[in-house]
Amino acid sequence: MENRPPTIEFEDETIDVERLLVEPQDGNVPLDSVMCFNEKTSEKATDIREVSCSFGATSAGTAHEEGDILNRDVLNSLHTEDDGGYFRLQNDFCSMGEEYLLGVGFAESITDLEYVSSECLQISVSDSPVLTCAGIDSPWKSDLFKIMEVPECQNDVVDLKSYEFSEIPSPQHESEKLAEKKPLKSPQESIDKVHDVSRHYFDDVPSDENATSLSHPVEMFSCPKDEKNDEYGPAGQSGESNRIQGKDELVTLLSAESPSDALPMLKRSRKPTKRYIDEVVDPISRHSKRRREVSSSTVRDKYVGVKDLKKCHMGSKAMKLPAEESAVKAIQVPFGLLVHKECPESPAYKLVNSSDKRILMNKPKDNCVASKNQKKRDECTPVVHQMKRSDGTPAGSQKKDDNVSGAHLMKKDQYITNIHLTKRNESVMATSQKKKEKDLNGGPLMKSDDCLTAPSQKIKERSMFAGSPKKEDECATAICQKKRDEFPTVESPEEVSGRRKHHRLWTNAEVKKLIDGVAEYGVGRWSRIKKIYFPASAHRTSVDLKDKWRNLLKASGLQGQHKEQGEKKRNIAWRPLPKSILRRVCELAEMHPYPKGGKPTTAHIRHVSPDKSTDITLSDYRRILRSINGS
């Protein structure tokens, strides 16, 4: 593209360079040049000049100052330092290797660009002449890109390059896999230079000559390393150009491994080291199955570690990795992570981890999320366990293998179904557990409570409640007992089957107390009443009091007036309330409309208006009578 014109101009130089190159080719020299590269990258403009020079030097092998000088001069004259630098380099290369070099140059630029883009190293790019190259789009880029598959390297391109070069071992590898599919049009020098460059590039990997062409460049990018400019610093020549070329060359070389040009001196393409491959694989994983496997394994490990750590963070990282590898995987993993995050607390968590983390985790998560209360949470835990059990076995067998997504799906379905089942069971279990808990807590407390006498063990519930004897009310004990007997038959069964854990019958004494409390503090002050009248009874909460009151009202027929008749019957069926209680309830109800409408709650009000109370009582009395009559 743009390079050509300059290349033409530089041909003279190129020639010189070639000449130089032909003579000696020292790896060291190129290295020096490389070193310069690094420096250059930082410096830019000046670098550019130097680069051109260096390039020549590299090509020459031993640094021929003359050639360098020439190059420099030409470059300087031709190019402005800043933007042109990179191009110039390429041009120079072109001149050197002409087409071959050109191609290489482009490839490099492309790779660089890509790499840069991938890394989002805009800054470095902007600074480095490379950017200009990037700016110039070449068809090569796309191709290169494909091949390369941008790795995730975060390091600056420049750094990487520099690093690579720096590491280049002085000795060059004899065996060269320069095999170039493309006939190298460029003179040997160019080739040599290329080789050197390539070698530099791959320095990271000690001369590995296994030619896996593609992987190399990627790897290079992927692994940023310290810049070893120090050693080669003296050469102080534009490393960029060399570097760039090197990359391109590498690519080309890799692609074509014809040793036609292979010079013993030059180390050409390096075959990707294992390490290279691995590195490449992780980010790229898609291409080769093998790579994928490797990557997957690594990823798994990571995940496992994460799980173990219980980081559970959905962190972009976690998400990222899977996403990169494969959609399926990506999806799965994140889920698992999420789940973990959601409820790491659950013991199931561990178990789940052992078996199939991802899938299992999902469910628990949902459950956990859904569960707001502790109760729910508890439920969740058991559920998870169950799930684990049911799914765990199969899950374990399946493992996380990337395998077919289908398997995964199946698993999920299974899991889901299991979950449902478990959930149902869970509910039951939860209820039972609840009961137990309550019993534990309530049992002892109850004892201490008012319950003076423990007459009714007939009731199932009581038995369940671990000897919470209920205090017998002053009011007809016989009645109470009767009630109890009735109640248990009627209510207890429901309770047992139902979610109600323990249904504690309200004794008349309790009711009385409640009424007293209401009379004293009014309706709606349940907490207070509870405190005062049921301080010891743990099982009677303010809510319970409220509920009881409500029930009393219903029973008294005050509330569901419109259904009075029906209520009567209900009441009867319900429970024989002692008249006294009913009456009082009615009174209080009159005084304090239940939903505390306008209630003159306080006792003094009551006192203040005894008439009222009386009136009320009368009105209520009728109802009460009716109810009683009904009964």
Partner DNA sequence: TTTAGGG
Partner DNA sequence: CCCTAAA
Residue whose CB is less far from DNA, 276 or 526: 526
Asked if 612 and 536 touch (Cβ cutoff 8 Å), the reply is no
Give the nearer residue to DNA in terms of CB position, either 373 or 397.
373
Instruction: Indicate whether 307 belongs to the interface with DNA (CB under 7 A).
Output: no
Does residue 528 bind DNA (CB under 7 A)?
A: yes
Q: How far is the CB of 384 from DNA (least distance, A)?
A: 18
Q: Which of 542, 580, 619, 631 contacts DNA by CB under 7 A?
A: 542
Residues 363-402, mask of contacts with DNA (x by CB under 7 A): ---------xx-xx--------------------------
Q: Distance between CA 368 and CA 339 in Å, rounded?
A: 9
User: Does 357 contact DNA by CB under 7 A?
Assistant: no
| Helix segments in 120-214, DSSP class H | 122-127, 130-135, 139-148, 157-167, 188-201
Query: Which position among 524, 533, 559, 591 is part of the footprint of DNA (CB under 7 A)?
Result: 524
Query: How near is the Cβ of 316 to DNA at its closest, in Å?
Result: 32
Task: Closer to DNA by CB, 300 or 375: give it.
Answer: 375
Min CB(217)–DNA separation in Å: 58
Q: Can you point out the beta strands (E) in 550-629?
A: none
Q: Which is nearer to DNA, 185 or 375 (CB)?
A: 375
Q: Does 525 bind DNA (CB under 7 A)?
A: yes
Torsion on CA atoms 616, 617, 619, 624, rounded to nearest 10: 140
**Integer-rounded Cα radius of gyration of the chain:** 43
181 or 563: CB nearest DNA? 563
d(CA 598, CA 433): 41
> Closest distance between DNA and the C-beta of residue 226, in Å?
57
Nearest distance, CB of residue 526 and DNA, angstroms: 4
504 binds DNA (CB under 7 A): yes
Instruction: Using the minimum distance from each CB to DNA, give the nearer residue, 4 or 376.
Output: 376
Among 450, 547, 564, 590, binds DNA (CB under 7 A): 547
Compute CA 67 distance to the chain's CA centroid, rounded to the nearest angstrom.
57
| 554 scored as a contact of DNA (CB under 7 A) | no
Q: Check residue 433 for interaction with DNA (CB under 7 A).
A: no
CB of 442 to DNA, least distance (A): 8
Q: Which is nearer to DNA, 414 or 602 (CB)?
A: 602
| Among residues 216, 539, 584, 623, the one that binds DNA under rule CB under 7 A | 539
Which helix (H) or strand (E) segment is 71 a member of? helix 65-78
Two tokens, residue 251: 């690519």
Does 506 bind DNA (CB under 7 A)? Our answer is: yes
What token pair was written down for 421? 């089942």
What is the smallest separation between the CB atom of 600 and DNA, expressed in angstroms? 14
Q: Is the dihedral of CA 367, 373, 374, 378 positive or negative?
A: negative
Least separation in angstroms between residue 521's CB and DNA is: 9
Q: Whole-angstrom Cα distance, residue 567 to residue 220? A: 86
Torsion region of 120: left, alpha or beta (phi above 0 gives left; psi -120 to 50 gives alpha):
left
CB of 500 to DNA, least distance (A): 4
Task: Closer to DNA by CB, 244 or 581: give it.
Answer: 581
Q: In Å, what is the CA distance from 141 to each residue of 74, 110, 116?
A: 27, 4, 12
Half-sphere exposure in the Cβ direction for 354 (13 Å, CA)? 11
Shortest reach from residue 159's CB to DNA, in Å: 55
Q: Compute how many residues bind DNA; rule: CB under 7 A.
A: 32
**How far apart are CB 347 and DNA at their closest, in Å?**
21
Task: Write the single-letter amino acid at 62.
Answer: T
Q: Interaction with DNA in 95-124: which residues (CB under 7 A)?
A: none
Hey, is 339 helix, strand or coil?
Answer: helix
Reported as half-sphere exposure (CB side, CA atoms, 13 A), residue 359 has a value of: 30
**Site map (CB under 7 A) of DNA, residues 560-599, x = contact:** ----------------------------------xxx---
Using CB atoms within 10 A of its CB, is residue 440 exposed (0-12), middle (13-18) or buried (19+)?
Answer: exposed
The reply to whether 502 sits near DNA by the rule CB under 7 A is yes
Q: Which one among 287, 311, 389, 434 touches DNA, defined by CB under 7 A?
A: 434
Interface pick for DNA out of 64, 503, 583, 584 (rule CB under 7 A): 503
Query: Which one of residues 317, 424, 499, 622 is an interface residue with DNA (CB under 7 A)?
Result: 499
Query: What 3-state DSSP class applies to 608?
Result: helix
Q: Which is nearer to DNA, 253 or 511 (CB)?
A: 511
Is the Cβ–Cβ distance between 115 and 160 less than 8 Å? yes
Q: Which residues contact 175 (CB under 8 A, 6 or more apart)?
A: 209, 262
DSSP track, 377-412? HHHHHHHHHHHHHHHHHHHHHHTT----HHHHHHHH
What are residue 317's phi and psi, to 5 degrees?
-55, -55
Q: How far is the CB of 485 from DNA (least distance, A)?
A: 17
Q: Which is nearer to DNA, 46 or 551 (CB)?
A: 551
Min CB(328)–DNA separation in Å: 35
Alpha helices in 205-288 (DSSP H): 215-222, 229-232, 239-255, 274-284
Separation CA 69–CA 58 (nearest Å):
13
Which range in 145-153, 185-193, 407-415, 548-556 contacts DNA by CB under 7 A? 548-556
Which residues of this chain interact with DNA, rule CB under 7 A?
Answer: 372-373, 375-376, 434, 438, 499-504, 506, 523-528, 539-540, 542-544, 546-548, 550-551, 594-596
